[in-house]
Amino acid sequence: MKLSVSQRLWVSGVAAFIGIGSLVVVGWYSSSTVSGALAHSQIIDGIDRQVTDLRFANEELRLASMDIIIDRAERQVSAERKAMLETSIKVLKGGSATVASFAKSEGLAIDASALNADVDIIVKAAGEQLPALVTGGAPDAEFDKIDDVIDSTGSRIQAVLDVVSAATGKAQQREVSVAMDQAQQSALIQLLIGVIAVILAGSLIAWQSRNILKGLNAVRRSMNRIAEGDIASTVDGTTRADEIGEIARVADILRKATVEKERVEAAAQSERLSVDRERSENETERQRDEEEIRRCVTILAGGLARLAEGDLTQQIEDPFRADLERLRQDYNAAVTRLSTVIGNVTDQSSSIHSSSVQIRMAADDLAKRTEQQAASLEETSSALEQITITMRGSTSKAEEAGAMVGGTKVQAEKSTAVVREAMQAMERIESASAEIGKIINVIDEIAFQTNLLALNAGVEAARAGDAGKGFAVVAQEVRELANRAATAAKDIKQLVARSSAEVQTGAELVTATGQALRDIGADVVKINEHMISIVNAAREQNAGLAEINTAIGQMDHVTQQNAAMVEQTNAACQTLNEDTTRLESVISQFRTKLGMAPQARAERSSMHTNTPIPPRAPVVSTGFKPAIAPAQPGQRPRTSPAQKLMGRLENAFGGSPAPAKSSTLQSSGQRVSAQASPSTDQWEEF
Amino acid sequence: MSNVIKQSGAYLEIVSFHLGEQEFCIDIMAIREIRGWAPVTPMPHTPRYVLGLINLRGAVIPVIDMACRLGMPMTEPSERSAIIVTDIKGKLVGLLVEQVSDMMSIKSEDLQPAPEIIPEAQRAFCRGIVALEKNMVCFLNLDTVIADELSMAA
């Protein structure tokens, strides 16, 4: 428990205060209890006095009543007695309630209502009936009766009051004893608390004061030691948390400051001595260093001079002094590294050389393919032209067919008109037939009438007898003629009817023909539409072919540019080769320890540089219309390599020998070997 | 009159005509005239076969449908129908026939009597049957056919 001094004092004070406070509280509580008991006993005392008053009043009432009964001969109640009666009645009425409440609170075995009733009875008897009897001069029996009532009632009330009086005495004694018990108990408690408080406070004060004194004594002893010069030993009590600990810590700080001061003085002294010694040692060492540095510089200068001459083989083997040894190692490393770099450069330059040769081979391949492409383009172009011509022909044919279809349509329309005329002719024939029928009917009628006439003639002739014989013959002849005429008319009628039927059939056939011709006309119109569609499609195809033509022109242009690019690539290869050679000659000025001397390699690579790379001819297409801008303005115009190739092939198949040109058809690998000998003529072939 | 025909042994002039499918003939001497069909004026309260009256050059004569009179369907008159005007017991009567076919002269022997299976009343219409090469023609007894009518008309 770490407490400051003030806190310790506070703890002791608070303990004492609590002890005193508890004593006061206990005293206050016990005195209040005692005074409450006493007050209660006073109340009970008052009740006792009242009960006593009641007893007196009762007795007085009885006595007064008796007096009144005795003096009944006077026939009146004296004022003195009346006053006595009234006073007694008043006391009885007022006290009965108090007695009842007290009996209830004490739990007495009395009948409070009976008491009240008795009081009422006696009051009524003594206060009202008796004076009435006296003043009324009632008989003695009445007085005896009322005397009995008053007596008996008074004695009952008296008995009750005796009981109550005894109870009040007991209650008083009880309250007093309660008060005395309480006082005794509180005195005991106070004594107990006082003893505990004194013991607690005393022990606390003793403990705290011992603690404080112990700390103070320890600090005092330590400070005495410091004062006597013992600064090595530490101060006690610095770990305490209170003010004493504070004092101890301050004392310790003072002690430490003194110790530090003494140590610093000693150190300054020793340093002065060591500096003097060191100075003399440095002097000799510096002279030795200067000697060494001079030697190193001389050796390094020699090495650098060799390096300047291009000799990369020399290393400095003699070790330098320690701090300059790094210089020697760096020099050696630099020479080694330089030598390695030069060797690498040599290797790389030869590698670049071979790469440039490969690039040139690739460029040759590319040139060949470009030629093939140009030839293919030319073939495509001519095929396209053929297609265009064919397409144009089919277009014109389709247009002619369209025109013919138009003519057919007109003819079909004309045929329709002819059919209409034929129909009209048929109708005319029919009407003519009807006319003929009418005429025939007339002839028939005439024949009939003739027949009748002939019959009548025959009849007349018969009646005439022999004289009419000749006439009868004539009449018979006439009849026969008439019959023949009728038969002929009938035949003609049949013929006309048949002709009418035939005309009907013909009209139907003509109508059918007209319908067929109209159908043909409609079909012709449809055919015409189809022909128009075909013609339009052909025109679109023409446009498409023109676009294809343009595209092929662009392809040709690109091919030309490719050829130019190949040419540039070749030139770049040449430049690269020359640069490589120059690089190798520069590198050959260095001598290195690595295997083969650069000089030898430079000689070997010069073999390639001496081979001039001829410029490639640009590919110029002659079979194609679109004008192609030359890839480079300074280029010489040449014929198409593709055409040349084809011409050469023709020559070859034609039997004419071309031995010098066969090498161009060889593989690229063979061509590289062929380039070793200067033969620029090959390139002129393209 | 039948006696006259049998005994003459001479030729007999007849006029044949058609009624429906059948062919009949009458004596030419009974005929006054043959003329074409002309519309008739109907007469009330007459038998069905009496079609009506016609004016023949001022004389009014009755017209009888022969087909109906002989128990056949009524004749449908047309332009080619004919009315044979006959003189029967001094009275002129028009007979409507479909068509007058022929005038011919036959021998008396060619006229054969009608078979006797027909009752007398009906057999009286027919004086005989003329058998020709192609067909047979019934020779009508106009006296019997018309007599009653004329008496009625009278």
Residue with tokens 């057999």: B123
Listed in sequence order, the DSSP H helices in A71-111 are 79-106
User: Domain count of chain B?
Assistant: 1
A508 to chain B, closest Cα gap in Å? 36
Closest Cα in chain A to B84: A456
Which residues partner with B19 through β-bridges? B22
pLDDT at A604: 47
Q: What is the mean pLDDT of residues A318-322?
A: 79
Subunit contact B15:A459, Cβ cutoff 8 A: yes
pLDDT confidence bin for A285, thresholds 50/70/90: confident
Cβ within 8 Å, pair B31-A459: yes
* CATH architecture entry for A369-636: Orthogonal Bundle (1.10)
Residue B5 has pLDDT above 60, yes or no: no
Asked if the Cβ–Cβ distance from B34 to A463 is below 8 Å, we say: no
The answer to whether B136 faces chain A, any CB pair under 8 Å, is no
pLDDT given for residue A416 in this prediction: 84
Shortest Cα distance from B117 to chain A (angstroms)? 34
Angle at CA of residue B5, ends B2 and B11, nearest 5°: 155
**Is A448's Cβ below 8 Å from some Cβ in B?**
yes
Rounded to a whole number, what is the distance in Å from the CA of B97 to chain A's nearest CA?
Answer: 13
Residues 98-127 of B with CB under 8 A from A: 100, 103
Quote the domain boundaries for residue B127.
Answer: 2-153
Distance, CA of B46 to CA of B68 (rounded, Å)? 13
Higher pLDDT, residue A489 or A7: A489
Amino acid at A508: E
Looking at CA atoms only, how far is residue A460 from chain B in angstroms?
A: 8
B38 touches B83 (CB < 8 A): yes
How far apart are the C-alpha atoms of A379 and A371, rounded to whole Å? 13
Q: What is the pLDDT of residues B33-60, one digit of tens each?
A: 998 998 999 988 888 888 999 998 899 9
Q: Check: CB of residue A382 under 8 Å from CB of residue A549.
A: no
- Of A75-89, A101-115, A461-475, least confident by mean pLDDT is A101-115
In the block, tokens 């009653």 appear at B148
> Is A455's CB within 8 Å of B100's CB?
yes
Q: Count residue pairs from A and B with Cβ separation < 8 A.
A: 35
φ, ψ for residue B64 (rounded to 5)? -115, 135
Q: Which tokens in the block code for residue A160?
A: 């009750």
* Summary mean pLDDT of chain A: 80
C-alpha to C-alpha distance for B30 and B89, rounded to whole angstroms: 9
Contact state of B82 with A456 under an 8 Å Cβ cutoff = no
Q: Locate the chain B residue with the closest alpha carbon to A480.
A: B102
Mutate to test the interface with A, among B84, B103, B106 (most CBs of A within 10 A): B103
Cβ–Cβ below 8 Å for A452 and B34? yes
Instruction: Give A609's contacts (C-beta < 8 A, 6+ positions apart).
Output: A577, A578, A580, A581
Query: Which of A237-241, A353-357, A502-506, A593-597 has the highest mean predicted lDDT (pLDDT)?
Result: A502-506
- DSSP letters of A606-618? HHHHTS--PPPPP
pLDDT higher than 60, residue A629 = no
Comparing alpha-carbon positions, the chain B residue that sits nearest to A486 is B80
Q: Which residue has the tokens 């006259």?
A: B4
How many Å lie between the alpha carbon of B81 and the closest alpha carbon of chain A?
10
Contact B103 A455 (CB under 8 A): yes
Among chain B residues, CA nearest to A472: B103
Token pair, residue A440, equals: 């025939």
Residue A462 has its nearest CB partner, among B29, B34, B82, at: B29
Rounded to 5°, the CA angle A445-A448-A449 comes to 90
Check residues B152 and B123 and name the one with the higher pLDDT. B123
Instruction: For residue B88, list its beta bridge partners.
Output: B91
| CA atoms of A6 and A13, how far apart (whole Å) | 11
Within 8 A of A452 by CB-CB distance, chain B residues are 34-36, 82, 100
| Beta-carbon separation of A445 and B79 below 8 A | yes
A653, pLDDT greater than 60: no
Using the predicted structure, report yes or no on whether residue A638 has a pLDDT greater than 80.
no
- Any idea which of A103-117, A434-448, A551-565, A596-610 has the lowest mean pLDDT? A596-610
**Under DSSP, is residue A554 helix (H, G, I), strand (E, B) or coil?**
helix
Tell me: pLDDT of A339 over 70.
yes
pTM (2 decimals)?
Answer: 0.38
Contact A49, A95 (CB under 8 A): no
In whole angstroms, give the CA distance from residue A475 to residue A454: 5
Which segments of A80-204 are extended strands (E)? none
Specify the pLDDT at position A288. 82
Best residue of A442, A446, A459 to probe chain B, by most B CBs closer than 10 Å: A459
Give chain B positions within 8 Å (CB) of A448: 36, 79-80
Indicate yes or no: CB of B103 within 8 angstroms of CB of A451. no
Structure-block tokens of residue A260:
């530090």
Q: Please, which residues 66-95 of chain B have a Cβ atom closer than 8 Å to chain A?
A: 79-80, 82
CA distance, residue B85 to nearest chain A CA (Å): 10
Largest CA distance in chain A: 231
Residue A124 CB burial class (10 angstroms; 0-12, 13-18, ≥19): middle
Distance from CA of B123 to the nearest CA of A (A): 27
Q: Any bridge partners for residue B106, and if so which?
A: B12
Q: Which amino acid is at A598?
A: P
Q: Which residues pair with B126 in a beta bridge?
A: B140
Alpha-carbon distance B79 to A527, whole Å?
A: 64
In angstroms, the CA B64 to CA B138 distance is: 18
| SS3 track for A196-234 | HHHHHHHHHHHHHHHHHHHHHHHHHHHHHHHHCCCCCCC
Q: Name which CATH class applies to A5-222.
A: mainly alpha
What are B78-101's pLDDT values in tens digits? 888 899 999 888 888 999 998 888
CB contact under 8 A, A455 and B34: yes
> B28: nearest CA in chain A?
A459
CB burial class (10 A; 0-12, 13-18, 19+) of residue A120? middle
Residue A674 has pLDDT above 90, yes or no: no
- Position B61 confidence tier, pLDDT thresholds 50, 70, 90: very high
Average pLDDT over residues A658-673: 39
Chain B contact set for A474 (CB, 8 A) = none
pLDDT at A391 (0 to 100): 85
Q: Mean pLDDT over residues A89-95, rounded?
A: 81
Residues 6+ apart with CB under 8 A from B61: B53, B54, B85, B92, B93, B94
Residue A205 has pLDDT above 50, yes or no: yes
The fraction of chain A above a pLDDT of 90, given in percent, is 8
Q: Which residue of A has its CA nearest to B13?
A: A462
- Is A473 part of the contact surface with chain B (CB cutoff 8 Å)? no
- The pLDDT, as a whole number, for residue A26 is 84
Token pair belonging to A247: 């004092």
Q: How distant is the alpha carbon of residue B115 from its chain centre?
A: 20
pLDDT for the residue numbered A636: 43
CATH, residue B42: 2.40.50.180
Q: List pLDDT tens digits, range A215-263.
A: 888 888 888 888 887 777 787 878 887 888 888 888 888 888 888 888 8
Mean pLDDT of B63-88: 88
Contact A459 B33 (CB under 8 A): yes
Which residues have C-beta within 8 Å of that of residue A340, sequence separation ≥ 6?
A594
Parse chain A into domains and list their residue ranges. Answer: 5-222, 369-636
Query: Is B15 in the A-facing interface, judged by CB distances under 8 Å?
Result: yes
Q: Tell me the pLDDT band of A370, cut-offs 50, 70 and 90.
A: confident
Residue B139, Ramachandran bin (φ over 0: left; ψ between -120 and 50: alpha; else beta) = beta
The C-alpha atoms of residue A441 and residue A435 are separated, in whole angstroms, by 10
Please tell me the distance from the alpha carbon of residue A423 to that of residue A506, in angstroms, as a whole number: 9
Interface check A449 vs B, CB under 8 A: yes
